[in-house]
Structure 1
């Protein structure tokens, strides 16, 4: 065996021995290594907070050298996992291993764990079980547990152990010692410890707050200021800064207080509350910083308590100084809602502000409330004087009249007030077309002749009311009572009215003299339309007096003066020329009327006169053609029966008997009760006698049926029923007319009976029944009241919301009647229907047609301007809308004026011209208080403006007033919604 083989053998043996020995060692060390690994793994789980898993793993290491430690950690895991056997296991560990290093800190460990969990009773129990060294931290924790368990005396003893420890816990404990003494109202001792706690990092802030609040609550305001200035500057605590500001406020150091509150609001948002805002606002108010005062007081005034009441009051004072009366009113009104000592002052200043606006009616209400609430008030004398002044200016005429009539004695001032408000009430009634009531109230104004100007105006307006009631004799008395002084304008109008009254009484001689007097005394100060109309009526008077040439001259003067009734002028001149046997000139004027004014209600009459001239001149063929064209062109004219009759005569003259007979028959078929019917019957009788007509008996029977003897029962019953209708006894009229229709179903009066029944139902507001009867006569175009039927049908369909049907009737009415009244009715109805249907361009078209019509009256013109303005507004043509709406506000003291002001305000609002919008709304709310809808809408819009301008206090006050006082449920609902939105906005900004 060589050396190399021997070496390989030795190496193999050595390797085998080594493997054997290593295997033997491993078999001994393997259990020890596994136990250590599991113990370390259990510790790792423990450190990571997996206590249940750690306990389970420690249960596998209960062997030496880890037996004691594993028992400790199993107990600790059970405690931290809040298992029920945790404390039992820990006690067993301490008992089993009393000298183990973990046994010395086991209870402290348990105590710290419970302390961290806020379980102070368990923590304290374990602190008490530990008899080893207690560090300052543990002493503090033990005292803290006692404090939280209301063991204050023990806590004081424990915290005292920290004295001289010079640890941070000594200062921390000082806070709780100070707190305990504070709760016992031992403030001197409390102050000592709280000052010591100022050095605590953890409790410096609550210590300062408690210290300062104690000083403040004890009224030691200067001490608060001194403390902050000497020890706490700069202030980095919102509570302390709040108490500093409050202390400065309490000592009336308003400049310092205002500065402190400003710093407070800037840095500490949670202190922005109504109480602080009030004190900041009042402080700013006292140092004449009105801008800041307004800003803070507005934020405070939203409070629904006495703080809000006081804030509102001082806001009102500032607004009064600035002459911002509307805002002042809202502020004082809010104050007056609360039972505070300043309520009396608020009512007084609220009334004064209302007088300045002026809103006299509201001022009267407030003053009466003051007199009821404060019968011996400080302002009682001033209030009585102010109340008299308010009544002197009020536009609540009923309230003023009733108040004055209830007084035992009237001063000269009150007599003048009574005279004036009675006059104004009469004018308001007159404008509402309540002429009887207006006349009665005007009589009250004449009781006290204090103001000569009012007396003269009253005489004039009584005359106007009597004239419109057709009481022309009485009207004359009042017109004649008007003197030349003090107002020449009223005097001239009275002459004009007197002339008209005489004219309506057919006293043409005196009427002509009065119109002449008006012409001679006319002044350019008066609208020239009066002169133009007077000249026209002079022409009418001369016509009636058969002074035909003078009549022509005056009509010519009227045209030259700008009278727009050209159709009347042309027709009358044509007619007068006929009377003067100037037929060529007459034809010239009739043709002029037809050519220039084809839509005139007199156009048909003019055409008829032209045919009549040809007929009277014996031009049978020419007249026959003229009548034919007339009948075709004006099928609904009231002159159709005359045209048919004269044409029949012309036919006879030309030997056209069949055509003549046809005309006579048409008259009797279509117009059996017309005055021409008798002549037509005679014509047929003549044809019958000549053997040219053999149906005479049938037409005679028709004629007799249509024209019964006036003493016949049928006629008597009809006239009796109709009398009830004209006496406005509609229920009786309906009953009688319906009985008449049943009794005489073939009467020629059936159509008129059905018309009267329909109209009576309409006037009672029974639209369905009215519509039913009107439809029974809507197809009879020969009915004398056919145009009225169409107008009523159009009106009812519109009221029922059937706008297309209504429009169809209006267009039909326009075709059958060209009278000026119906032309105006058609355009008015279409204008209003198209506006309701949001067809604004069409509404504007018909509105302009009304404004261009010289016969359109004042009220219809006002309505046209309103609808045009509203339509332009809806089309976003705001400036154009203003042009139509602005004239209404000075000329319409009725609901149209109120609505116009509202839309004007909306336009300014849409243009963001909020000041102008508010001005317009203030006028509306002050001058149109009888129109609830627009008054309420105005206040809603006012609130919107306040919201847009961030005047949230004003907005809330306005909306609350609406909620409390409005009688319109839908308005209250909107106001509540807006108020909720404001409150949500305020809350989100705090």
Structure 2
């Protein structure tokens, strides 16, 4: 029995021993697991992971806890940034898909990456989370974090529904959700919804500051300016520097919109002082406008100029206000540039119209009448219904009165049928001025057309008198002396003795009567003219011509007196005075005195045009005195030494007669024969035939008389009237500038009458028709033939044309030869001018500056035929000195040209002065000179355009970028010349490129500054 009891006891004890042992083992495994949980909760992740992995490996672990341990261990690998962490979590979910922690695993992965601010990864795992399995706060956390992750990735459409859910219920994220929802609505410009959310968020002190910017912006966008001010000014002290900057700007803009410019200025200045970068254009404009309203005009100009030029409405408004500000300061040039920009941009029609009108007025005010005419004409065309129209028409009339753009003025005024008195006065003036300009250019035909138009509007009596005077000058130049007399007399009836042209009016009348052979009347006007004294322009010529009048009217004693007066005055025509004195003495029978005068010419004036005449007259006196040998010696001297003299046929004729009287018949025959061989169409040919006939009769010789008679008849046919009519018809075509028809007619005439006395003249006219028709090669050959034949009065003109054509062909040696020949045959100042000018042009082409100066000086000293000639010489002399680096001498010549006359040479000279000032960095002086050019020489568009290009260069050199760009834009918009437009565009592109490079450099600096501010801001938050 005891044995049984023992066995039973053992049996009973054994199970308890096993149970006790099992409980002991399990208790130890649970402790490991529990330690892992505690370490995990304490974030001692390494220790926790060790415990969880130990539990997993324990042989007595429980399956569910082992799976939990696997889950926590995988999470810890993520937390500890183990490379296999994410893989382990994914593996857990894959192998335990039904485990309660499976859904939580993705949520925790999302949370981890959310904490790491890896929002893309967090979104990836949050989207895999089944939020229906999340409970309580986990669900709330999940919704907010997913929404915030979307928000951070700017996936606003995905974020907004979550924020909207959270903001509608009480939870820890309610204020934040209001804030972020408000932010999203703000970004989407749904300002009403945004304001509701932001105002709720701002109830929480955490978001009061961060909502400030957006709420202020919304108040501004909704036009609630006072609410913005009240709200923002109260909040401003609590904002960070960056946040405060933006809010200050909004406050400034709110005051600006309320026209409270003093308050706006205060905040604008605070904003500007705290801003390290470049202000944007719109802000600069608003600040400039505030300064303008506060009458701080200097500051306003500075700010408006910073706005710069672009193709937008802001630039138009900006330029308009700049124009007004510069006008207030009487800075008319800058004002013009600004109004020009406002006119061109044309976004606001009213501003464009007013700017256009102001620009036109400014041009007129500055004396830029050509520009004023252009702008006013354009204004009237573009704005026919403008309230300024009446004023514009009046100003245009005034502009034309002062304009140098005469042709455009005439065209405009002729388009108006019913001219007002003011417009009639303008028309009278501009037609006169244009006529005077043509006259100075030696275009007398066009000058006369304009003068006739001017006298049709006799509004101003003094101008009428002056116009008739210049009509007289034009007629006189064209050798229409009766018409000249009529015009001069009309001028006298409409002029006063105090008028500037009155003295020359007496001279003009005297000259016209003289050439019309009304010598008694002529001498009265010459005497009247000489009362002006030796300072009179034509004093020397008047003395000579008065003597001539007395000579022709046979008042020889007074003629001698005035010729002697010319000699005593050292008149430049003393050679002529001596010659004429000899002629008068010979008429009076004072042969000795006559020979003394002729000898004076021969001895002292060997280059005189009267040298051959003096020799001839002295020989003639000997002939008339029966001193035939002496006469023969004199005539032979002329024939031997003066091969170009037009007196040669006369000398042959007289010498033949002297030989005849000495009965030296063979010598006489030889001279007559020479005349008939070389001068068949000359007036002496007929006498030579008669003399030869008489000789043959005396000598009882047949000779070649019949042959010479036939040749003479061929050269001088009896039907001379028919050929003269044909010649006159061709000549009429030439004078009427119908050169194509003239060429055909003269060619036919030469073909039909090759030996006629007028054929030589026809050949010249044919050559000149080709020349004027720009057929220079055809002209050149004919001119050479005219010179070679040497049997026309046009020989000298042909020499000149050959020289000019060879110069045009750059055959400089040939050109020089013929200009020199022209100089040798020069009879007056005009001939010398043509020769010296050609030689000067050759020197210019060869860069022979010393000769350029020499010939320019010779023109000024000996050949100053008119104002244009003087200015051409001054300009060339200036350019020669300029090219040699002699700038002081160059400037003197250029200034002389500017002072002498207002022609194109003067315009170029003024430009050169400005260019030298630019090169010496005297930029403001250069600009002043160029604007004076625009004022004085507006009728020369080439130099006007060049001047504006140089003005732009000066502005750029002075760092006046706005003015430089405005000037170039004006050229591009208004210039007619493509070359000028292209050059202006090139300069503008270069400025834009350089400005762009500078801006990029500044932007780079600003980005660096802003980055530093962000870093600084983040560091304060952390």
Instruction: Give the TM-score of the pair, scaled to structure 1.
Output: 0.78
1:274 to 273, 281, 286: 281
Q: Does 1:219 align with 2:223?
A: yes
1:491 matched to 2:502? yes
**1:454 and 2:463 matched:** yes
Q: Where do residues 749-768 of structure 1 align in structure 2 (5 Å cutoff)? A: 751-768=760-777
Structure 1 residue runs of 5 or longer lacking an equivalent are 1-67
Decide which of 554, 562, 582 is 2:562's aligned counterpart.
Answer: 554
The equivalent of 1:892 in structure 2 is 901
Compared with structure 1, are the counterparts of its residues 111 and 745 closer, same or farther at alpha carbon in structure 2 (3 Å cutoff)?
same
> Partner of 2:34 in structure 1?
none
Task: Please name the residue that 1:40 is paired with.
Answer: none
8 Å CA contact retained: 2:787, 2:799: yes
CA contact (8 A) 1:142 1:158 kept: no
1:685 and 1:815 mapped to 2: Cα distance?
A: 39
Shift, 1:285, TM fit: 1.8
- Provide closer, same or farther for how the CA distance between residues 786 and 212 of structure 1 changes in structure 2, counting only shifts above 3 A: same
Write out per-residue CA displacement over residues 44-69 of structure 1, whole angstroms, 9 at most, x where no aligned residue.
Answer: xxxxxxxxxxxxxxxxxxxxxxxx99
Give runs of aligned pairs for residues 342-353 of structure 1, distance below 5 A.
Answer: 342-353=351-362
CA contact (8 A) 1:793 1:809 kept: yes
| CA contact 2:787–2:795 (8 Å) conserved in 1 | yes
Cα displacement string for residues 53-93 of structure 1 (whole angstroms, at most 9, x for unaligned residues): xxxxxxxxxxxxxxx99x989x99xx9999x9999668558
Query: Does the Cα contact within 8 Å between 1:758 and 1:769 map onto a contact in 2?
Result: yes
Selected match of 1:514 from 504, 517, 525: 525
CA distance in 2, matches of 1:917, 1:556: 54
Matched, 1:504 2:515: yes
Aligned partners of 1:758 and 1:774 also within 8 Å:
yes
Q: Is the 8 A contact 1:361 1:395 kept in 2?
A: yes
- Pairwise CA RMSD of aligned residues? 4.9
Structure 2 residue 148 is the aligned partner of structure 1 residue 144: yes
Instruction: Give the C-alpha shift of residue 820 in structure 1.
Output: 4.7
Which moved further from structure 2: 948-957 or 538-547?
948-957
Describe the shift of the 1:848–1:654 C-alpha distance in structure 2 as closer, same or farther (beyond 3 A).
farther
Residue 840 of structure 1 and its aligned partner are, at CA, apart by 3.5
> Number of matched residues?
912
Map Cα deviations across residues 819-864 of structure 1 (whole Å, 9 max, x no partner). 6543321112222343345443332222211111156344322322
Query: Secondary structure of the residue that 2:537 maps to in structure 1?
Result: helix
Counterpart of 1:302 in structure 2 is 309
Cα–Cα, structure 1 residues 537 and 777, in superposed 2: closer, same or farther, change >3 Å?
A: closer
Of 873, 879, 887, which aligns to 1:878? 887
CA contact (8 A) 2:575 2:610 kept: yes
- 1:785 to 2:794 alignment: yes
Which residue is 2:944 aligned to?
Answer: 935
2:166·2:177 contact (CA, 8 Å) conserved in 1? no
Evaluate the alpha carbon distance shift between residue 785 and residue 645 of structure 1 in structure 2; reply closer, same or farther with a 3 A threshold.
Answer: same
Unaligned runs of 5+ in 2: 1-69, 1000-1022
2:479 counterpart SS class = coil
Q: d(CA) in 1 for partners of 2:122 and 2:562? A: 116
1:675 counterpart residue number: 683
CA distance in 2, matches of 1:780, 1:552: 39
CA 1:629–1:817 in structure 2 vs 1: closer, same or farther (change >3 Å)? farther
Return the alpha-carbon distance in structure 1 between the equivalents of residues 317 and 905 of structure 2. Answer: 40
Shift of 1:502: 1.1
The alpha-carbon deviation at position 737 of structure 1 amounts to 3.2
What SS does the corresponding residue of 1:757 show, helix, strand or coil? helix
- Conservation of the 8 A alpha-carbon contact between 1:228 and 1:235: no
1:943 and 1:956 in contact (8 A); partners too = yes
List per-residue Cα deviations over 1:930-987 (Å, max 9, x = no partner): 4332332233223223323333333333333332332222122112212222322333
Deviating more after overlay: 431-440 vs 321-330: 431-440
SS of alignment partner, residue 709 of structure 1: coil
Describe how 1:275-290 pairs up with structure 2 within 5 A: 275-290=282-297
Match of 1:230 in 2: 237
- Per the alignment, residue 530 of structure 1 pairs with 538
Residues 607-628 of structure 1 show CA distances to partners (whole Å, capped at 9, x for unaligned) of 5445555666666666666555
- 1:901 paired to 2:910: yes
Q: Residues 620 and 211 (structure 1 numbering): CA distance in 2 closer, same or farther, change over 3 Å?
A: farther
Tell me which moved more, 747-756 or 966-975.
747-756
**Structure 2 counterpart of 1:912:** 921
Instruction: State the alpha-carbon separation in 2 of the partners of residues 946 and 303 from structure 1.
Output: 18
Matches within 5 A, 1:197-212: 209-212=213-216
Q: Deviations over 1:465-520 (max 9, x none)?
A: 33334333333334334256373544333222221221111111111122122334
| TM-score under structure 2 length normalisation | 0.76
- What secondary structure does 1:303 align onto? coil
Distance in 1 (CA, whole Å) between partners of 2:82 and 2:686 is 126
Name the residue aligned to 2:955.
946
Say if 2:252 and 2:263, in contact at 8 Å, map to a contact too. yes
Instruction: Name the residue aligned to 1:122.
Output: 124
Residues 543-552 or 86-95, more deviating: 86-95
CA distance, structure 2, for counterparts of residue 871 and residue 296 of structure 1: 46
**Residue matched to 2:973:** 964
CA distance in 2, matches of 1:473, 1:218: 88
What is residue 473 of structure 1 aligned with on the other side?
A: 482
Give distance in 1, aligned partners of 2:481 and 2:884: 47
Counterpart mapping for 1:626-645 below 5 A? 630-631=638-639, 633-645=641-653
C-alpha distance in 2 between matches for 1:303 and 1:724:
61
Check the 8 A contact 1:587/1:610 in 2, yes or no: yes
